[in-house]
Amino acid sequence: MGISIRKFFTYDYYLRKEIAFLKRIGSQNIVFAEARLRYYWTTFKKLNYFHPKDINEKLMWLSRYCQDPLKSECADKFLVRNYVVKKGYEDALIPLIGVWDKASDIDFSLLPDRFVLKCNHGSGWNIICKEKASLDIDETVKKLDGWMNKAYGLDLQEIHYAKIVHKIICEEFMPALNGDIIDYKFHCSRGKVHSCFVAYNRDLVDPHKVCYDHYDINWNRTDAIKDEFHKQRRLLEKPSNYERMLEVASALSEDFDYVRVDLYECEGKVLFGELTFTPYSSIMTYYKQYMLDELGEFVKLPRKRYY
């Protein structure tokens, strides 16, 4: 653990006292105090806001001190489409069918037989319909209403999500994205691409059951992932559109100190997934420490910026 049990629980005690006090006075800083506690219990280290070094510390710092409105726009699964078009990559977008303010506005009779519904302000809030005749519409509306009424992000110091105006979007169902699809997730900073984190062998019933791996920018596999996260590891072929992926990732990251650009390779073309500013809520537990340090060195922090 690198810290004595007594010191560990002493620090935990004072953090919880601080959180209780911030709750009583209604301070917005409770978000950051709770983030420090979560970081402490996840990594067994104190969060260093003053001299952040590894990538997890720097992502926590960016979330607290660089609350750029563009982050909220680009974390929004609807508005980010405008950003992608602005950057010249409209051809990478999955076609949009519709957008609504609430689930009761959706006329399911007008939707195609297969489609994907998403809430724009969270993570994992998706409904994949492969056959409309078998879709329980009442249950779908109930689930969407539940997601739409939830505030996402503040409990994990992902403030940019909390500023998104809630919408429901519907995209075309892409059959090729519903098999053993590989997620290519590029770590980027200000137009530079560091490396590619990949997720594959995803369980379609439980998407959290997945195999992780990591490749450098020249598509050489590294040993950066902890063993427990790639028990079914296999060597992946370099994507046929890899250079195009690097081009898209570079362009979409130009305006950000850090962003993970998530892409797919589907039927011979590159498709856009999303822009992620706080992977794993800014605590990437799947990486070994040397890669956390390397990514931390890659990301250069700006001056504090408040909006």
In a domain, 73, yes or no: no
Q: Do residues 44 and 105 share a domain?
A: no
In a domain, 102, yes or no: yes
In a domain, 15, yes or no: yes
3-state DSSP helix/strand/coil % of the chain, to nearest 5: 40, 20, 40
Region of 284 on the Ramachandran plot (φ > 0 left; ψ -120 to 50 alpha; else beta): beta
In a domain, 279, yes or no: yes
Q: Which two tokens stand for residue 264?
A: 């797919």
Number of domains in the chain: 3
Give the strands of the sheet with 126-129, arranged side by side: 96-100, 168-172, 115-119, 126-129
In a domain, 74, yes or no: no
Report if pTM > 0.85.
yes
Q: Do residues 191 and 283 share a domain?
A: yes
Among residues 173, 193, 213, the one where a domain terminates is 173
Angle between the 30-43 and 5-25 helix axes, to the nearest 10 degrees?
160
For 131, the domain range is: 95-173
In Å, how far from its chain's centre is CA 205? 20
Per-residue pLDDT tens over the stretch 242-262 = 999 999 999 999 999 999 999
In a domain, 265, yes or no: yes
Count of H-run helices and E-run strands, the chain: 9, 9
**Four-CA torsion 303, 162, 89, 58, nearest 10 degrees:** 30
d(CA 179, CA 22): 47
User: For residue 301, what pLDDT band results from cuts at 50, 70 and 90?
Assistant: very high
Query: 43-68 in b/e burial notation, b at 16+ Cβ within 10 A?
Result: beeebeeeebebbbbbbbbbbbebbb
Asked whether residue 276 carries a pLDDT value surpassing 60, the answer given is yes
Per-residue pLDDT tens over the stretch 22-46 = 888 888 788 888 888 889 998 888 8
Do 224 and 288 form a contact (C-beta atoms < 8 A)?
Answer: yes
Amino acid at 32: F
Q: Do residues 181 and 279 share a domain?
A: yes
User: For residue 267, what pLDDT band results from cuts at 50, 70 and 90?
Assistant: confident
Which whole number is the average pLDDT over 79-100? 97
Q: Do residues 201 and 220 share a domain?
A: yes
| Mean pLDDT over each residue of the chain, to the nearest integer | 90
In a domain, 267, yes or no: yes
Among residues 140, 173, 206, the one where a domain terminates is 173
CATH number at residue 242: 3.30.470
In a domain, 34, yes or no: yes
Q: How many CA atoms lie within 13 A of 144 on its CB side?
A: 27
Per-residue pLDDT tens over the stretch 214-232 = 999 999 999 999 988 876 7
Query: 268-286 in b/e burial notation, b at 16+ Cβ within 10 A?
Result: eebbbbbbbbbbebbbbeb
Asked whether residue 7 carries a pLDDT value surpassing 80, the answer given is no
